[in-house]
Amino acid sequence: MKKIIATKKTPPKILGYNDKITVGNLTYTVQSRLGAGTFGNVYRCIPQNPTDQAGIIDQVAIKVSQDDPLHLSVARKEGTLLSQLKHPHIIHYIDKDPTGRFLVLELCSQTLNTKIKQSYPGLDPAIAQRVYQHLLSALVYLTKKNIVHRDIKPENILEKQIPKSPTLESLWKLADFGTAAKNPGKATCRVSTLTFSAPETLIHIDNAYTHSYPSDLFSLGVVMYETVTGKPLLNRLEDHLTDSKNSELLRITLTGTQPGSPLKHYILIKSPLKPYIEQALAIDPAQRPSAASLLEEVSKTGRSLQG
C-alpha cells in the first residue's frame, strides 16, 4: 500500500487492444493489459515496426502512469533510476518519455504472486532456491549502488522464461522501482506494503521512518516464507492495521509466542532454505546477515539441490 496521496482527478483511461503509445520516435500497439497498480496500468505492446530501433525486441511492457503532476514526478524518478541499472535480476529498462508518462520495459511472463497461487503448498524447492538466489543477487547489486527498493513483495517480482531453455528454467527479476530511493536514510512517510515491512520501518522516530538495506532483506524473507509455504506470513487483511499493531503482530508471529501462529506452520516445513529465511527474518536488523553472505549460503544450497 503506497502512500501516494491521490489528487482528485478522473480515473486513468484504460487502453485497449490496438491503441497506440508513442515514446520517442517509436509507436507501440497495445495488445493487452498485464497489470494494474497504484500508479496506473501496465500493457503488453508491440513496436509498430519491430525491425527498426527496437532491434530484436518484439514485445515490451509499457507502464503508463496516471496523468497528474504527483504520479508523473514519481514515474519520472522511477524511469531515471531504472535507466541507471543493469543486472540480470532487475527488470530491464528500454526507454521512457520525458514527461514520465510511459516507461518501456522488457516483457516478463508472470509475477511471483501468481506462481505461488498456482503452486500451493509452496514452490518446488529447486525453483524456490532459484527465486531466493536471484533476488539476493539483485539486492547485492542494489546495495553496491546505494539503492533501497522499499517495496519488495511477490507482485513486484517477475518471472522471465529463458527462451529455448531445455530445462524450462526462468530468471526472476525485481521490478517496480516507484518507491526505491538512493542513499537510504530517513523518510517522512512509510512507503512499503505493511505486511511485508520490516519491524524497524514501522517505527516512527523524530518524524521519520528508517528503511535501509536490512529492511529490504527482511521483506525478501517474508516473500520467501510465502514462496516455500504457500501461505503469507501475515494475512494480507492485516494491511489495514496501524503500524504499531502490525509491528506487534509481526513480533508475536516471528517469536512464535502465539498458538497457531504462521511460524509454527513454517517450522513443520522441511525446506532446505528454512535457516536462510529465518536469518532474513531476524527482528533486530543488526542480526540479519548481509545480502552478499546470504547469497553465498543460498547458492551452496542450490548446488546440493541439483545433486
Ligand X SMILES: Nc1ncnc2c1ncn2[C@@H]1O[C@H](COP(=O)(O)OP(=O)(O)O)[C@@H](O)[C@H]1O
Question: Smallest distance, Å, CB 34 to ligand X?
Answer: 4
Fill in the amino acid letter for 296: E
Site string for ligand X, 145-174 (x = CB under 6 A): ----------xx-x----------------
HEC states along 45-88? Answer: EEECCCCCCCCCCCCEEEEEECCCHHHHHHHHHHHHHHHCCCCC
| 37 binds Mg ion, rule: CB under 5 A | yes
- Alpha-carbon distances, residue 306 vs 231, 300, 303 (angstroms): 25, 10, 5
Under the criterion CB under 6 A, does residue 91 sit at the interface with ligand X? yes
The partner residues of 105 in beta bridges, in order of sequence, read 61, 93
Q: Closest approach of Cβ 55 to Mg ion, in Å?
A: 27
45 binds ligand X (CB under 6 A): no
How far is C-alpha 250 from the chain's CA centre?
20
Q: At a CB cut-off of 8 Å and minimum separation 6, what does 48 contact?
A: 20, 26, 27, 28, 29
For cell 519491430, name the residue. Answer: 50
CA dist 218 → 199, 222, 233, 278, 281 (Å): 9, 6, 12, 9, 5
x/- track of binding to Mg ion for residues 173-212 (CB under 5 A): ---x------------------------------------
SS3 state of residue 165: coil
- Give the nearer residue to Mg ion in terms of CB position, either 2 or 96: 2
> Which C-beta is closer to Mg ion: that of 219 or that of 271?
219
List the grid coordinates of 270.
522441511
39 is a contact residue toward ligand X (CB under 6 A): yes
Part in contact with ligand X (CB under 6 A); list of ranges 32-40, 138-146, 262-270, 290-298: 32-40
Stretch that binds ligand X, among 104-112, 225-233, 243-251, 297-305 (CB under 6 A): 104-112
Which range touches Mg ion (CB under 5 A), out of 37-45, 98-106, 192-200, 286-294? Answer: 37-45
* Site for ligand X, rule CB under 6 A: 34-35, 37-39, 42, 61, 63, 91, 105-108, 111, 155-156, 158, 175-176, 178
* Site for Mg ion, rule CB under 5 A: 37, 156, 176
